[in-house]
Structure 1
């Protein structure tokens, strides 16, 4: 079969329902990502808007409320936990440090609000499982904000894998690197603080992208991992993984080899090789994504829509909340990633292969 026969009929938002309405969001944690990426993305979305801003700083919360047209209330964390202005929002977007996700999700669940939680779901498997239980007990939707899963190029790649365009997947190679050293002196650089970030700075924060994206493409889960890591720069003295490499065996037999660094030239890519072809994504995870597919002697760069990945994510989340349709990636999905992440750090520390339960 020719490559061209696989390339017809792609729908950018295949998840969309016919449901109308608007989901009002409380954004929790007003760091640079929320202010520079999330809130502008929500502004561009069709099905949601930001109506409440929650911060540890009264001044910052009030300033954001004054500067953003749709934001009706600026709240402190304590006011959020007390239920102040809870009638002004339908769902929450949690973008606090990893180890602080759980308390905000607990309060949101008590208030009956749907939850979109940034990745990783929490700082440990134990706390991640507790979050899932809290939301299940309250019967509120819980989604983890893996923006790559709503990126059109990645969804197209998944369709091609399912259609057999590259044959049977054999192995994948992923890389994700950037530099945070220039930010290391900032008091807000919580990713270098294990009490807030979890077991490390690199695998937890950016190594998760090739790991989770490969999971999504394969529709398979990790069953065993190996890892090596090191930290040399003074800024990374409290974490083991300034630089990291790890391998993952998936439940379908596919192998993934990854490198990741928080102190290297920005580089993002993912190559998935099968028995009859390959998919190559570069750039991959830094808000821009391009896809090339090769089969036999033919290689094609796919013209998938260039989108704001966060806008796609928020519209997907709002669509699911409004329609009541099954939501994913859900909390259980996030727990599996957290288990794999912990296993990678264990493997690097012990020098052995760690199998996942």
Structure 2
């Protein structure tokens, strides 16, 4: 970690701990995962992250194409089986994994979680957990009824620097939190140059695209940092590019009132210069993450005339996410971002979209 401190704030860096959440026995594991959905995120980010993991490994790959699953599986030593979606639902290879990771389009998450619950397998589901509140609630109920753990993949919550910032806020480093300011934007059509992709299809993505996929980061990370939950939303949205004709939020801005009185104001766009930041302003100082959400973080803390910048050696956020979840399973401990936590985000996103549509404030979970 490199740091640029000024007098008075150096002590805030004391206690920075990598993997302070570790509770499982040192020799426990690994937890074996079936990875469901072999898009670019799984192949480019998740599989390499699991290769470096200490408590988890990929043993089964699941895809709509048997040929694709087998081709990708051949490149990874830990992978034992490659099966199709239909074979997964039929219970094939169930003895080769302990938990599933779901990374399909949003509107397909539920069916895989339900099958995993029926098989007694733990579920790690990408965010957002589903396309609608109703389907997310069904996922929670399925996992609770089967008594299997369900966690939503909020990788910011397991990033060591974010967790340290949470402890600083709890310790009063910036005084009483007053408001949060966040942004998350990217040029989706440069990343995936196809206007017919699923993130622009409301039947697959859900209420929209920018808030569902990007705005959820400042929303959930603020919730985590402040131990606070959303209660009311206001918002404005617009779509101008022809590729965004079917979704309302090519551009979006929203304000969420949290139950501790803090106000979060955030912007998100799938068609803007890639930029990420999250600022938490308190009565005595502020914390700023910039960059914030695109797989790397840096933190600046300011109080009065003093300032310190922390640029840690970057932890792989996906490795941290999988190993945290595996640790919870191995220790038989409660997971942090469980299904009901994720469901509240979907309720908040629905409220954000309704607020933009009506021009009025909307209560979350009404």
Cα offset, 1:55, TM superposition = 0.3
> Of residues 45, 56, 60 in structure 1, which corresponds to 2:64?
56
Choose the corresponding residue for 1:240, options 245, 248, 257.
248
| Worse-superposed segment, 68-77 or 177-186 | 177-186
Deviations 1:285-336 (A, max 9, x none): 0001000111111000124341111001011011111111111100000000
Task: Say if 2:23 is the partner of 1:17.
Answer: yes
CA distance in 1 between partners of 2:101 and 2:24 (Å): 23
CA distance in 2, matches of 1:9, 1:237: 49
Per the alignment, residue 194 of structure 2 pairs with: 185
Q: Per-residue CA shift, 1:171-230, capped at 9, x if unaligned? A: 11100000012335265x211001110010100000000000000011000111100011
Q: Distance in 2 between matches of 1:12 and 1:303?
A: 14
2-side partners of 1:185 and 1:126: how far apart?
29
Which position in structure 2 is the counterpart of 1:143? 151
**Structure 1 gap ranges (5+):** none
User: 1:328–1:240: structure 2 CA closer, same or farther, 3 Å change rule?
Assistant: same
Aligned 1:101-116 pairs, distance under 5 A: 101-116=109-124
Q: In the alignment, what sits opposite 2:340?
A: 332
- For the 8 Å contact 2:289–2:297, the answer to whether it is kept is yes
Equivalent pair of 2:24/2:330 in contact (CA under 8 Å) = no
Q: How does 1:256-295 map to 2 (within 5 A)?
A: 256-295=264-303
Gaps spanning 5+ residues in structure 2: where?
1-6
Deviation at 1:88, TM superposition (A): 0.4
State how far apart, in whole Å, the 1-side matches of 2:361 and 2:62 are: 42
The answer for the alignment partner of 2:173 in structure 1 is: 165
Cα pair 1:102 1:127 within 8 Å, conserved = yes
Q: What is the distance in 2 between the residues matched to 1:18 and 1:352?
A: 47
Distance 1:62 1:8 in 2: 47
1:231 aligned partner: 239
Contact 2:253/2:267, CA 8 A, preserved across alignment: yes
**How far does residue 11 in structure 1 lie from its aligned partner after superposition?**
1.3
Partner SS state of residue 123, structure 2 = strand
**CA separation in 1, counterparts of 2:170 and 2:312?**
18
Which residue in the other structure is 1:8 paired with? Answer: 14
Say if 2:134 is the partner of 1:156: no
Is residue 78 of structure 1 aligned with residue 86 of structure 2?
A: yes
TM-score, normalised by the number of residues in structure 2 = 0.95
1:226/1:344 contact within 8 Å kept: yes
Alpha-carbon separation, structure 1, partners of 2:151 and 2:209: 23
Task: Report how far residue 69 of structure 1 moved.
Answer: 1.2
Equivalent of 1:310 in 318, 323, 334: 318
Partners in 1 of 2:207 and 2:195 — Cα distance?
20
Report the secondary structure of 1:279's partner residue: strand
Task: Check the 8 A contact 1:12/1:305 in 2, yes or no.
Answer: no
Matched residue of 2:74: which SS?
helix
Tell me if the contact between 1:220 and 1:250 (Cα under 8 Å) persists in the aligned partners: yes
Contact 1:99 1:196 in 2 (8 A): yes
Match of 1:100 in 2: 108
Is 2:216 aligned against 1:204?
A: no
Scaled by the length of structure 1, what TM-score is found?
Answer: 0.98
Q: Partners in 2 of 1:36 and 1:7 — Cα distance?
A: 33
Mapped to 1, the partners of 2:251 and 2:344 lie a distance apart of 23
Q: Which deviations, in whole Å up to 9, do the C-alpha atoms of 1:229-262 show, x marking residues without a partner?
A: 1111111011001110000110000111111110
* Count of equivalent residues: 356
Matched residue of 1:67: which SS?
A: coil
What is the rounded CA distance, in whole Å, between the counterparts of 2:138 and 2:325 in structure 1?
22
Would you say 1:215 and 2:197 are equivalent positions?
Answer: no
Alpha-carbon distance in 1 for matches of 2:124, 2:312:
26
CA distance in 1, matches of 2:240, 2:195: 19
SS in 2 for 1:115: strand
